[in-house]
Structure 1
Amino acid sequence: MKIAMGADHAGFRLKDELKELLGQWGHQVEDFGCTCGDSVDYPDYAEKVCEQVASGAADRGILICGTGIGMSIAANKVKGIRCALVHDLFSAKATREHNDTNVLAMGERVIGPGVAQEIVKVWLDTEFSQGERHIGRIEKAMRLEGK
């Protein structure tokens, strides 16, 4: 799977750890920054990653900032993106099964690397359930982009 990743200054350490692990798991990872603790604006990195996912250049995206909140808000402004802020395993699984999310947001200041690794594994390994009720709800939500 091709995964686009991005982080701001508060999430770059976790991004780097996860990027290495994803490579070990056999995924192709493209890193869109940032690479240091100097203050940057999270929407810039969310946009880069989400453009890759929305265009089909990447299969999924992972975004990390201090809490994950800013990244998830910015990501969901990009047409075609269904980003979920996740800090637990149940939500990681449910957001794939029920919402077919294509971008995952997490907060480095909220969870540690061990939990983040488990979340990413569950999120990547869980398939969308394809249930009619889920598809209809996703379609309704995506129509909101045009309003």
Structure 2
Amino acid sequence: MSKRIVIASDHAAVTLKTELVAMLQEQGFPIEDLGPFDTSSVDYPDYGYKLARAIAGGRADFGVALCGSGIGISIAVNREPACRCALVSEPLAAQFARTHNDANVIAMGARMIGQEMAKACLTTFLSTPFEGGRHQGRVDKLSAPTLQPIEA
């Protein structure tokens, strides 16, 4: 089964989003571009929430969230308990996001990362499986609808 991917950005990351969409299409991934489609100013939370709803609703298996720094849109996506969004800037972080955290959304900052590095991060993210095992209980806690108490 091919991984279904949704991608969204803000205005600062439209150029990077366009490059990543082209790469994913060349690789044969089913991809849905949630916008925006030009560089007119938009608010990254709107697009982060749109992406998160697509993941939570089962329309996609993985998401790619982009904004100028990657920080704002990753915060927006992570407000949805079904999403585990990891902000990465190099492939090793993308690998650990998958192996240890079972991240289903990758976030990157268009003003922080070059196109080739972003492509390398995304390729690593999509090709790396979750390890499970000792990490599964931690991931279950990340997806819990409320914060779990910590004993002092």
* Cα drift, residue 109 of structure 1: 0.3
* Cα drift, residue 54 of structure 1: 1.3
Secondary structure in 2 matching 1:6:
strand
**Structure 1 residues without counterparts, runs of 5 or longer:** none
* Cα drift, residue 79 of structure 1: 2.3
Task: Count the aligned residue pairs.
Answer: 145
Q: Which residue of 1 aligns with 2:137?
A: 136
Secondary structure in 2 matching 1:53:
helix
Supply the distance in 2 between the matched residues of 1:141 and 1:126 (Cα, whole angstroms).
Answer: 19
* Cα drift, residue 78 of structure 1: 1.1
Letter of the 1:47 counterpart: Y
Letter of the 1:62 counterpart: V
- Say whether residues 1:14 and 2:8 are aligned partners: no
Where does 1:1-147 land on structure 2 (aligned, <5 Å)? 1-131=3-133, 133-143=134-144, 145-147=145-147
| Runs of 4+ residues deviating >6 angstroms | none
* Cα drift, residue 100 of structure 1: 0.3
1:76-102 CA-partner distances (Å, limit 9, x unpaired): 001211000000111000010000001
Secondary structure in 2 matching 1:74:
helix
Letter of the 1:35 counterpart: F
* Cα drift, residue 71 of structure 1: 0.6
**Structure 2 residues without counterparts, runs of 5 or longer:** 148-152
Q: Which has the larger radius of gyration?
A: 2
* Cα drift, residue 2 of structure 1: 1.0
Structure with more of its chain in helix, by fraction: 1
CA RMSD of aligned residues (A): 0.9
Secondary structure in 1 matching 2:139:
helix
Letter of the 1:36 counterpart: D
Secondary structure in 2 matching 1:109:
coil
